[in-house]
Amino acid sequence: MDTVSFLSYLKSRPQFKDQFAHVEQIPYRQGEHGILQNPLHPTLQSLLGARGIRQLYCHQVKAIETVRAGGNIMVSTPSASGKTLCYNIPVLETLLADPLSRALYLFPTKALAQDQLRGLIELAGGEILTTGDMSTFDGDTLPGLRSNIKKRGRIILTNPDMLHLGILPNHQSWRRFLRNLKFVIIDEAHSYRGVFGSHLALVIRRLRRLCNDLGSHPQFILCSATIANPGEHAENLVGLPFELVSEDGSPYGGKDFVFWNPPVVDPVKNTRRSASSEATALFTELVSHGIRSLAFTKTRRLTELIYIYSRDKLKETDPLLPPLIKPYRAGYLPEDRRSIERDFFNGNLLGVIATSALEAGIDIGNLDATVLVGYPGSIASTWQQAGRSGRRQAKSLSFLIALDNPLDQYFMHHPGDFFSRNYENALVNLHNPYILESHFLCAAWELPLTPENSEVFGMDLEAVLEELEEKGLLKKRDGKWYPTPAVAYPARRVNIRSASSENYVIKDQSRDNQVLETIEASVAFSEIHPGAVYLHQGESYLVTDLDVAGKTAFAKLFDAPYYTQAKEITEISIKKKLKEREGGKTSVFLGHTEVKTTVIGFRRKAQLSEEVVGEEELDLPSQNFNTVALWFDVPQTIVNEIAEKHLDFAGGLHAAEHASIGLLPLFALCDRNDIGGVSTSLHWETGRPQIFIYDAYPGGIGIAEKGFEIIEELWETTLKLIKDCPCEEGCPSCVQSPKCGNNNQPLDKEAAMVILEGLIKPK
């Protein structure tokens, strides 16, 4: 597309003239090809040629040669670089040579598995494989087809949930497939981090254990967007050595990447126009100009809001345009999501507003522009989302619309830092006790555990198994551990995408209590409390009642001019100190903690303007969980300096905590919602003023530990952000937090700077 002309048009519009914080011009790049040592099988070469593929890129050649030599590989290259051929070619070569060989493909979503199946059928259907040789196997697979798939399937495409819940516990009916398993493909490996990644790492070890028992030792091929530690991440996920393929040989059409900062509407408070209204204006401009666009949002609610705003705005200009846009997110029925994907791929839609559910590599056709509503939380995710446009090697546009928060505003004022910054580390925690114990029970159900299994799991099992025996969940007999009668199909009780297996159901009172969606228990009190406005496919629902015991919320259609935001308070206690070190002018700690969170009320906020139009108290039970946190003391010299300057010490701690949490995602591959914090002028256990930053998942997932390691760099970056912010007393761009349960009170920007400056001074 002609990006220059469209950007010139936007700059000429009075309402957009101040929003261009930075435009990065990413140049066109030619491709670099390679030559295989031994040519491909003639049939496979012919099929590739029929699709216009007559040469392979250098990274594809390296991947194929490494797999041919028997190695496990991690391919870590950008979007649209041809990673799919890095695994399809070796798999199809092996299937041509050995009719008994099998391959298991794992994708994070059902939609991506369906999309990749279509690609396989187009490439190999009829010539190498028949339709019955390759199939998806997931929760949508009809029961009558499952037995035939197990018998005939040579390539099975599924997701980690089905592997964990349906295949491994029923491995006896999969014996032929597992005995001949030659390859395990794990695509979108960067998405397996935190809780999900920690679960998957143990699911894969359970798979390897069963394969070893049957005499098979499959090779693993992992593909990922660019992250800082791809080789280490692959080895953490699988537990085997890997070779890294990271030099991208694919061509690139170039991109204009615009950092778009909403204008300031209150110079004194430094508050900006809402990102949702900016996204609406920009998205509707793109659609109105016939530019196929995809807008990414960070939440389900924002997806629905921007869709509603855009639909209504397009009605005013051209009544033919509203049907050409759709929202897309998790929670919709599978048939609704597939319909939107097909319409977008076939060109029946001009635009889609989506959560990160469309971040993965589903082929949705040729896109010209992507709009990112808020920094996605990591450098890797930002490039993954931006890379959805320009996937056919043509020049494209991407816009990053900043939210009014510390991290987004940091990049708006330091764009060079974004474009020069290294990618983040993907973190998993194999030793999370909540996750570990549940998978050992699953493993024992599948096949009795033995001391020799320590090699597969990469840890000494004895202590954990003895603890499970003490709980009455395992029983040792003849040197092996078996599940007790109290354990029945344990996989059903383990939700691998969450640290909790519990969900709440939302029922629609307007339609005879028909089920609308399910939502994780960990966020239920903040999302579906009584009085909450919940959005579903462009419709507003008012939650009228929450049955905590029955884990059910009841809602009715409601035409609301506002949305709701929960208020919560958090307390933290120290259970066990794990590490301690000197950092700057103080001591920094890492340890096990208990977090107690209570939703105490909610605010009603006007759509678009974000103005608070009402508040209401709630009486809900507290939620407690154990996790890992870092914390640090604030020396008495800093306390004295703040007192001498007549500043608010508690407000300074609170402000420094908010800003530090907002910037920690710069250093760890996580989202702001993955972490929490507490500041206190006098912690009841230590008798000292302290700031805590904790993993917002039971057991911890490694984020606090990463923060512990880089705490000085975090302090320095946070201080720079606060100093650079032009506001007088603190604003959403530096020290205010939209999640603050205390309504951002007290906050003292100047005191926060004194604290941070004091911390980074060497002793």
Q: Given the structure tokens 């040592």, which residue do they identify?
A: 37
For 218-264, write each residue's pLDDT tens digit.
999 999 988 889 999 999 999 999 999 999 999 988 999 999 999 99
For 252-262, write each residue's pLDDT tens digit.
889 999 999 99
pLDDT of residue 40: 96
**Quick check: is 610 in a domain?**
no
Range of the domain at 533: 503-560
Assess whether 644 and 513 both reside in one domain: no
**Quick check: is 278 in a domain?**
yes
Peptide bond into 746 cis (omega under 30): yes
Answer whether residue 738 shows pLDDT above 80: no
Is the Cβ–Cβ distance between 163 and 665 less than 8 Å?
no
> CA 232 to CA 534: how far, in whole Å?
40
Assess whether 292 and 360 both reside in one domain: yes
Residue 687's contacts (CB-CB under 8 Å, 6 or more residues apart) are none
Q: Give the Å distances, CA to CA, from 372 to 218, 260, 276, 353.
A: 39, 10, 11, 10
Assess whether 380 and 272 both reside in one domain: yes
Assess whether 49 and 179 both reside in one domain: yes
Produce one character per residue of 113-139: b if its CB has 16 or more CB atoms within 10 Å, e if not: bbbbbeebeebbbeebbeeebbbbbbe
Number of separate helices (H) and strands (E) present in the chain: 25, 31
For 577-596, write each residue's pLDDT tens digit.
999 999 998 999 999 999 99
What CATH number should be reported for the domain holding residue 141? 3.40.50.300
Assess whether 526 and 631 both reside in one domain: no
pLDDT of residue 363: 64
Answer whether residue 735 shows pLDDT above 60: yes
> CA 308 to CA 536: how far, in whole Å?
11
Answer whether residue 759 shows pLDDT above 90: yes
Residue where a domain stops, chosen among 245, 275, 305: 245
The mean pLDDT of 632-651, rounded to a whole number, is 95
- Establish how many alpha carbons lie within 13 A of residue 525's alpha carbon, considering only the half-sphere containing its beta carbon: 19
**Quick check: is 254 in a domain?**
no
**Quick check: is 427 in a domain?**
no
Q: Which two tokens stand for residue 160?
A: 């980690």
Assess whether 356 and 480 both reside in one domain: no
The model carries a pTM of: 0.80
Q: Which two tokens stand for residue 651?
A: 């407000």
Q: Assign 645 to helix, strand or coil.
A: coil
Band of residue 697 on the pLDDT scale cut at 50, 70, 90: confident
Ramachandran angles phi, psi of 729, nearest 5°: -120, 5
Band of residue 462 on the pLDDT scale cut at 50, 70, 90: confident
Band of residue 366 on the pLDDT scale cut at 50, 70, 90: confident
**Quick check: is 330 in a domain?**
yes
Strands 562-583 vs 586-606: parallel, antiparallel or unpaired: antiparallel
Assess whether 713 and 585 both reside in one domain: yes
Assess whether 489 and 508 both reside in one domain: no
Assess whether 516 and 479 both reside in one domain: no
Assess whether 626 and 679 both reside in one domain: yes
Q: What is the mean pLDDT of the chain?
A: 90
Is the Cβ–Cβ distance between 556 and 512 less than 8 Å?
no
For 1-24, write each residue's pLDDT tens digit.
889 999 999 999 999 988 999 999
> CA 583 to CA 604: how far, in whole Å?
41
- Residues above pLDDT 90, as percent of the chain: 63
Q: Which two tokens stand for residue 362?
A: 């589903």
> CA 599 to CA 595: how far, in whole Å?
13
| β strands within 513-561, DSSP E | 514-520, 533-536, 539-547, 552-557
Structural domain total, the chain: 5
Helix (H) or strand (E) holding 656: helix 649-663
**Quick check: is 20 in a domain?**
no
Helix (H) or strand (E) holding 221: strand 219-224
**Quick check: is 5 in a domain?**
no
